[in-house]
Amino acid sequence: MCLIDYDIDWVDTLPSVKADGFLNEMDNSTFEHQSVTNHTAFDNTAIEALKPVVFHSWYTGVLVSGLFILAAGVPGNLITILAYFKYEQLHSPTNILICSQSIGDLFTCMTGPLYTILNYTEVGQAVASSRKYLCLVSLVLINTALQSSITNILALSTERFIAVYFSLHYYNWVTETNVKRAVVVIWTVVISINCIPIFAWNIWTPGLPCTSVTVYPQIFFQGYFIIPSLICMLICAVENSLIALMAVQKQRSITAAVVVQNADQQTEEVRSGNQFKVTKMLLLISGCFYATWLPWIIFNSIFFGLPSSWKKYGVPTWILVAFEYSKVILVANAIANPFIYGWKNLLFRNAYYKLLGIKRNPNEL
């Protein structure tokens, strides 16, 4: 599951845990510090003090719902990938990017359970806080899946932006060879960046929760992950806004135009219409992406500028519960995409039916 925690600069200034304070309700995935002396090595007492706080009952709800959604996302993304590789009619530049996005979503669904179990079960927390490389591997896998999803959405948005605003150059620029090269570069860069902590650059400490904020140096997590990801999402938002504006204008022009066309004009209109359908489908995909990610982004933004009362007494429990469940909503994006492909793309729909052995009505379009 795409579960990442931002660094909170004020965490070291928080008071020690009190039985009657808000701080007792702090989320295990965010972590709590108790006052410890500045020794170069942790003794047994210090390690015990730094272990995650008491397991909260509502963690079970996050665990169950997260695992259910992750499992539900596997079949749809797997059949999308199989459809692309099996049926030649799906081999197009746009569908290469769709396949890459589906691989990223499948990667999320298959690696997310490890992170979920290590952070939302008592046994998992104990194991992750004492097994360095198990913790690092779980973070590397989930962070890679998360960042690949963002960069693939950016690639899809850019491909549609070129198709809409540079249509005369589209078929020269967006070739299968160029798109395959772009996909290789995307995955190489994402994997290379996220593998850095597992080999050298990490601050893992026994007894601390297995989250990005406790395992990754702040400069790495913010400079190599958070900021680039936010830039990608900002570019996507701008591109999709411009694409949506052009799509609305095009739809109005098509509705208003009533002219007699020759054969060449009709062929060009069909070609343009097909591109317009693909554009609408990918706009819907991007819309679902932002709808599922927006709650998580909002809560992380809140943690960047906490009210002074929260800094003093701790974050209210309902905020922490909502934050954890926003991660579950985020993962739901992996389920939505295959349904959109089957609904809006006739070629993918036909491929799904064939792979599932479902007979279709010959008159169905």
Residue with tokens 């039916």: 353
Token reading at 200:
């050298």
CA distances (Å), origin 120, targets 117, 258, 317, 322? 5, 60, 16, 15
Of the listed ranges 101-110, 186-195, 260-269, the one predicted with least confidence = 260-269
Range among 24-28, 115-119, 206-210, 224-228 rated most confident: 115-119
- Nearest CA-CA partner of 53 in 315, 300, 311, 233: 315
* Confidence class for position 98, pLDDT limits 50, 70, 90: very high
Cα dihedral across residues 97, 102, 107, 108: positive or negative: positive
The answer to whether 236 touches 157, Cβ cutoff 8 Å, is yes
* 174-225 tens-digit pLDDT: 999 999 999 999 999 999 999 999 888 899 988 888 888 889 988 888 888 8
Q: What is the DSSP letter of 222?
A: I
Rounded CA gap, 68 and 229, in Å?
26
pLDDT at 274 over 80: no
Of the listed ranges 17-21, 233-237, 339-343, the one predicted with least confidence = 17-21
Averaged pLDDT for residues 148-159? 92
CA distances (Å), origin 337, targets 142, 234, 340? 19, 21, 5
CA angle 138, 144, 147 (to 5 degrees): 135
Is residue 311 classed exposed, middle or buried when 0-12, 13-18 and 19+ CB atoms within 10 A define those classes?
middle
Q: Which residues contact 77 (CB under 8 A, 6 or more apart)?
A: 102, 103, 105, 106, 109, 334, 337, 338
Complete domains list, the chain, with CATH: 9-32+55-256+272-356 (1.20.1070.10)
Q: Which residues contact 218 (CB under 8 A, 6 or more apart)?
A: 7
Q: Which residues contact 297 (CB under 8 A, 6 or more apart)?
A: none
Tell which phi-psi region holds residue 316, choosing left (phi > 0), alpha (psi between -120 and 50) or beta. Answer: beta
The answer to whether 39 touches 66, Cβ cutoff 8 Å, is no
Cα dihedral across residues 71, 141, 222, 102: positive or negative: negative
Of the listed ranges 41-50, 115-124, 288-297, 350-359, the one predicted with least confidence = 41-50
Of the listed ranges 128-132, 133-137, 242-246, 270-274, the one predicted with least confidence = 270-274
Rounded CA gap, 299 and 106, in Å?
25
- Nearest CA-CA partner of 25 in 316, 323, 344: 316
pLDDT at 28 over 50: no
Tell me what the pLDDT averaged over the chain comes to: 78
Averaged pLDDT for residues 97-118? 93
The answer to whether 79 touches 338, Cβ cutoff 8 Å, is yes
* Confidence class for position 9, pLDDT limits 50, 70, 90: very low
| Size (the chain), residues | 365
